[in-house]
Amino acid sequence: MADGDFLFPTIGANGVLQPGEPLSHDMVQKWIDKGVAGAGIPGTFSMHCYHQGGVQYRFMYAPVGQQWTLAHV
């Protein structure tokens, strides 16, 4: 990764990562909606649900040894 690359970059239509472009909110929301529907979970969820559930804390701010990996998230 270069200094200007994003951790969650845009993925082009051909499946190639675009590291200099951030992944859009709309794309992430679409993936959440698809995953929730596929799992048969009723209700509407947003990225905010993950923040409130502590995922952002566990990935970014938890003390060393208590952090979750990106794969876990």
pLDDT at 2: 83
Cα–Cα nearest to 47, from 66, 69, 31, 59: 31
Summarised one tens digit per residue, pLDDT across range 5-58 is: 888 898 888 989 899 999 888 888 898 899 889 989 888 887 776 665 677 788
Using DSSP, state whether 6 is helix, strand or coil: coil
pLDDT at 50: 65
* Rounded CA separation 65/17 (Å): 30
pLDDT at 49: 67
* Rounded CA separation 34/28 (Å): 10
* pTM > 0.85: no
pLDDT at 64: 92
- What is the percent of the chain with per-residue pLDDT over 70, rounded to a whole number? 93
Q: Containing H/E element for 22?
A: strand 17-22
Cβ contact 46:32 at 8 Å: yes
